[in-house]
Amino acid sequence: MTVETTESRTTRKIWTGEEAYDALMMSPDVFLEKYPDRNSDSLRLYRQRQFKSQEPEDGYVGLRMGYFDIECSDLKADFGSILCASVADGYGRVKTFRRDEFVQAHPLDDKELTIALRDYINEEFDIIVTWYGKIFDVPFVNTRLTIEHGEAPLQPRMHIDAFYLIPQGTMGRSLDNVSRALRVQDDQVHKTKFDKRIWALANAGDKEALDFIVDHCEKDVLLLRRVFEKLRPMIKNIHK
């Protein structure tokens, strides 16, 4: 009796270009909708390979970079307070601190949030990257910590303010304008439009308004990370 067998050979499709980038940045549902020829198992294995290859066994990855942004109830730190803050690491993983997740002495209290944010940055990152953060974000956090709450400020560390990497006169210098010019916005990561009343509602304790601001802040740090990747060749020195 002769049994005929057919040997099939499966060739792995190569992940390249925009698809490979999207696979790491998009949510699985959105990615699989955009690339219907992929499946959830292939996406999971690809991500697993990427992160496994990027994280050494001893855990040392060199200087650790954090992309940092805050959202506040006012532009003056002695009057307003922090509603939320987000920090993205080098892999695009975002940690967010929101005011309503901490014990508060009163509805406007941001003491525990600012302490947790300070400790996280101090412990986890060697370099922080911001957009206009040397003028606004870091001074705001330190003012809240020291003057308002009597706590130690952020420890000095290397700080890249990507705002100053843009040549003057070449384009609008807002993160929105620059990211559009560099073509790094997409459906998942982009500048959200907002109404100033949302900030007032969030400051008054409205959870839905704060949820919107948290989403805005998280998208900002991921957008900053993308913009920084394009502007990285402009860096000449890194200062504290």
Helix axes 17-25, 40-54, angle to 10 degrees: 90
pLDDT score of 5: 43
Most confident region among 41-50, 130-139, 193-202 by mean pLDDT: 130-139
Q: Using an 8 Å Cβ cutoff, are 209 and 128 in contact?
A: no
User: How many CA atoms lie within 13 Å of 93's alpha carbon, on the beta-carbon side?
Assistant: 4
64 confidence band (pLDDT: 50, 70, 90)? very high
Q: Is the pLDDT of residue 10 over 60?
A: no
Q: Using an 8 Å Cβ cutoff, are 65 and 238 in contact?
A: no
Domain boundaries, the chain: 17-54, 65-234
Mean pLDDT value of segment 157-169 = 89
Mean pLDDT, all residues of the chain: 85
Nearest to 192 by CA among 35, 75, 93, 71: 71
pLDDT tens-digit readout, 125-146:
999 999 999 999 999 999 999 9
What are the φ/ψ torsions at residue 87 (nearest 5 degrees)?
-135, 125
Q: Is the pLDDT of residue 150 over 90?
A: yes
Pairing type for strands 65-72 and 158-161 reads: unpaired
Range in 11-15, 191-195, 219-223 with the lowest mean pLDDT? 11-15
pLDDT score of 238: 86
**Based on C-alpha coordinates, what's the Rg of the chain?**
21
pLDDT tens-digit readout, 111-123:
999 999 999 999 9
pLDDT score of 183: 84
Percent of the chain exceeding pLDDT 90 equals 52
Range in 44-53, 107-116, 224-233 with the lowest mean pLDDT? 44-53
Q: Is the pLDDT of residue 4 over 50?
A: no
Q: Is the pLDDT of residue 6 over 50?
A: no
What are the φ/ψ torsions at residue 204 (nearest 5 degrees)?
-85, 0
pTM (predicted TM-score):
0.74
Comparing 145 with 2, the larger pLDDT belongs to: 145
CATH topology of domain 65-234: Nucleotidyltransferase; domain 5 (3.30.420)
**What separation in angstroms does the CA of 16 have from each of 25, 84, 148, 232?**
14, 36, 50, 22
The strands making up 82-88's β-sheet, listed across from edge to edge, are: 94-98, 82-88, 65-72, 127-130, 158-161
